[in-house]
Amino acid sequence: MLKGIGSSGGYGIGKAVIIRDCTLDYKSVKYTTADDEKSRLRSAVERFEQETRSLVEDLKENAGEKEAEILEGHLMMLQDPFMLSQMEEGIDAGSVAEAAVDSVCTMFIDMFSSVDDELTRQRASDVKDIKNSLLEILLGVEKTDISSVAKNSILIAKDFTPSMTSRINAKNVCAIVTEVGGVTSHSAILARAMGIPAVMSVVGATEVIADGEELIVDGFKGKIITNPTSNELALYKQKYNDFLQEKESLNEYFGKATVTKSGVVKKVYGNIGRPEDVQNVLQSSGEGIGLFRTEFLFMDRDRCPTEDEQFEAYSTVARAMGDKEVIIRTLDIGGDKAIEYLKIEREENPFLGHRAIRYCLDNTELYKTQLKAILRAGQFGDIKIMLPLVTTLDEVRRAKALIDECCDELEQQGKRYKKAPLGVMIETPSAALISDLLAKEVEFFSIGTNDLTGYIMAVDRGNANVSSLYDVFQPSVLRAIEMTIKNAKAAGITVGMCGEAAAHADLIPKLVEWGLDEFSVSPSSILQTRKYICSCK
């Protein structure tokens, strides 16, 4: 049996089809003239755009409009004048078109890969997809045709890029397995949308699994059973039938209030990273936005977004959600996020360095621009401000003083605004330990279990050697969560959770018992989370 990360729930029983990476070596390509290389580049870009538009239409039919936006994002990235101009500058400097594509895309990949937020890191995968597609076109490499595999195939690859995943025929593919990736990767998102079970981060999968080998894939537990016995096959066929019935039952929770069996009302919210993601939450019956990550507004550009640009983004989400709560996390950047125009100093240990609230409080003009935009957007909905990576009371008090300063300046400028309730993310051991004191300073808490677990367990979840320690069910993590909730309830403030653990079936009963008010999860997990909560006492 092999283990990985269950990234798309479901069960697949079939035969392995190994998808191996093709070689994209351009060392033998000779430079001609700058004009010729630019012409080759433009032709490749044009063909890429045509092929991607075709995939977008297929994906709209097979997965849905919102999932197709992932590939539409590829088109938008490549149509960015900055990206293309950088490639052409490389050609002018003597690089062949392939090298120019490789260099510029690698720069963007490195920038997005350095970010601690998993959703942002998926942009790196998107750019890698663009890079490989362009290199395949330039080099004339034929892509593996995964659209015509036999029925009941289980695809095994090092990674499935969004463009590869969109080519999958869901009628013939019963599961996918990768050596990298996780729950929030775009390939996982697409797999869930297409109803294909997926297990990711299976070390050496393409080497230890043989082509044609019979497999069972458990997308819930992240298990792969090789050469299953007749008893194992019978067991999983029954699990598959039960799963289909369970999936059908979720429809009754659309638009339904989230209420436990004992009548306690809870809320299930959605997490978003871009304004357009709000539609995913609404289409999944979300009762609010529990986490709006604002880093995306600052990335993939050559200057800071203006106050008006940010106001437009925040107010768009507020208007879409109407009277539903929208919690906006202020800028969470630092030495781990390579945003060139901010000239952030590189650090040896950025996760313990000058980032998030620390960086913002030392760059007050940048921070005030964002705060003013949020305050102005507040007049269009129920917006709340949330501070990331808080470790001291002083950080909260300084932020409150800045917000008051912003209100005064907006008043003087004659701009309409609405004072927003302030909260903090409890994502550091320090914040959890002083949560009783923090509760006296703010109106709400949101527990960020992703970072909280990593900091408490002193573990890098991306390091396979210690990843087993990255577990929200470690007693120390559970104690921190319980203490935080109890301190919030004692102070009379609301407390939510915006980490992946908020959707965990085994954790939800404990969270309900302890008194958690709001569960903020990925849009695709909203209905399932509501069902779990409604089944609690």
Catalytic residues: 186, 498
Q: 439, 490 in Cβ contact below 8 A?
A: yes
Q: 166, 191 in Cβ contact below 8 A?
A: no
For residue 437, give the nearest of 477, 383, 397 by alpha carbon. Answer: 397
Q: Tell me the C-alpha distance between 400 and 348, whole Å.
A: 30
Q: Tell me the C-alpha distance between 530 and 514, whole Å.
A: 17
Q: Tell me the C-alpha distance between 255 and 285, whole Å.
A: 6
216 φ, ψ to 5°? -120, 130
- Read off the amino acid at residue 221: K
E strands present in 332-474? 382-387, 422-426, 444-447
CA–CA distances in Å: residue 122 to residues 113, 304, 327: 8, 21, 22
Q: Tell me the C-alpha distance between 270 and 290, whole Å.
A: 6
Q: Tell me the C-alpha distance between 385 and 419, whole Å.
A: 10
Please list, residue by residue across 312-322, b when 16 or more beta carbons sit within 10 angstroms of its beta carbon and e when fewer do.
Answer: bbbbebbebbe
Give how far the C-alpha of residue 65 lies from the chain's centroid of Cα atoms, to the nearest Å: 18
In order, the DSSP letters of 122-151 are HHHHHHHHHHHHHHHHHHTPPPP-GGGPPT
